[in-house]
Structure 1
């Protein structure tokens, strides 16, 4: 082989190594997914490339020549190294792909963001990209979605996180101005601060406390729990909010839960993921961590 000539193709090397093992171009053809004629042409091209005869040809089959026996282990090693290289590149590509996590803003604000640095430090090679909004033109769906709702979600794996424990909360000053709440029915004289995506909370509350058909004096709707919480702290009305999202305000006294009024909602915060997301490198570690952290958060806010 002349110096500087490019190395033989992997197809030629694979055909050569397979014929050497099987002793027949016909049997080798089926294994390497080529025609018998194509296998023969690959062998001849490799011999021309090397300037050496690799097989003795006889009616009984093909046997390696001395040159073929010398060259075979090098060809096999080259094929093995190319296979390993392709595998490493595939692994690298999988690791390089970020895990896309879509979540409602309040779950990030009140739960995930303050805890996530611990995961990032323990798993520096896992790239997680966060978003709380996916536009209609978004080309790729998130791998994991954390949202409020209730199962089932068609074609998605679902795991409950927290948020079913809903509490009635209000600022102490508001309750004082309104003469307090002596019974659940007194909520009808209050302004209700309602999340526009959780209209069922009022029905669930009234059903739980035997107030079916009751209506609040006034209702103001908001799009974010963070805004509802601030409005409640400011004394603009009472709110029905998952207890875990107002745990800090309840501990500080900025909000109170009069008469321990609340209910167990049919909806909660759930984690869902596409089945194909399971192929993402690092996803199993992230999923296990999220579920463990959510269970701890749920227990703490229920008893806290």
Structure 2
């Protein structure tokens, strides 16, 4: 074989090694997902390339010649090296591709973005991309998602984060303007600022406070909690909002929680990931960090226990 001749193909090496192991082109064809004729052609091509016969052929099968026995470990080593190289490239590509996190905007605004620099500093090689909207033409699915809802999500595992502790909130000026807030039923005298994706909050509130069938005087619907919070602070109405999303306004006094009214919702903020998701470098570490941060956040913003 001339030194300048290119090396044999991976397909030829794989066919040779498989036939050597199984002793039959028919069995080898099944193992490498080729036809028997194609396996035979790969062997003949390799023998021509090397200028020597690799198998003794008989009705009982194929047996390595002395030349074949000499060449086999080199062929197997070459295949192993190519597979290792392919795995290394796959790992490199996986590391290079960012982790895509799709989330409701308020979770980023009120929780994640203030905390994420700590994760980024601890894991400088993990690239995370954030989005709260995926267009109809988007073809790449997010690796993980933070969403409001109630499990289960088909085909996904789900981990609770926070958001089931819902509080009734309003600006102090609104409470004063409406003559105070003395009992839960007073909610019916006011405008309700409602998130359009959380229509069950009103039913859950009235159920929790024995007000079934009650309706607010007026309802205004918004698409973002940040807008609802701003509207509530401006005195445009009262809102039912996860306490964790209005914790800053409650702490500053911009909003109050009349009579401590609220409820535990069936709806919460959950982290989901596909069940069939292949391993991704950094993803498990990011998920573990998200869950730990969410647990601390939920505990810190939960309603205090009632005083004895």
TM range (shorter): 0.7 to 0.9
8 Å CA contact 2:243, 2:303 repeated in 1: no
Partner of 2:51: 51
Distance in 2, matches of 1:216 and 1:42, equals 79
Aligned-pair CA distance for 1:254: 1.3
Q: Secondary structure at the match of 2:277?
A: helix
Partner of 1:182: 182
Distance change in 2, residues 1:205/1:81 (3 Å): same
Aligned-pair CA distance for 1:78: 1.4
**Which TM-score applies when normalising by structure 1?**
0.86
Q: Deviations over 1:212-265 (max 9, x none)?
A: 233333322221111111111122221111100001111111111121111111
Q: Which one is further off, 256-265 or 178-187? A: 178-187
Q: Deviations over 1:10-54 (max 9, x none)?
A: 233234444555666666566555566655544443333233454
Partner of 1:256: 256
Q: Deviations over 1:195-216 (max 9, x none)?
A: 2222222222222222223333
Q: How does 1:157-236 map to 2 (within 5 A)?
A: 157-236=157-236
Partner of 2:129: 129
Distance change in 2, residues 1:172/1:125 (3 Å): same
Partner of 2:119: 119
Distance in 1, matches of 2:171 and 2:248, equals 13
Aligned-pair CA distance for 1:147: 1.7
**Which TM-score applies when normalising by structure 2?**
0.85
- Consecutive unaligned residues of structure 2, counting only runs of 5 or more, are none
8 Å CA contact 1:278, 1:284 repeated in 2: no
Q: Secondary structure at the match of 2:82?
A: helix
Partner of 1:239: 239
8 Å CA contact 1:164, 1:267 repeated in 2: yes
Aligned-pair CA distance for 1:55: 5.3
8 Å CA contact 1:97, 1:280 repeated in 2: no
Partner of 2:65: 64
The number of residue pairs the alignment matches comes to 303
Partner of 2:301: 301
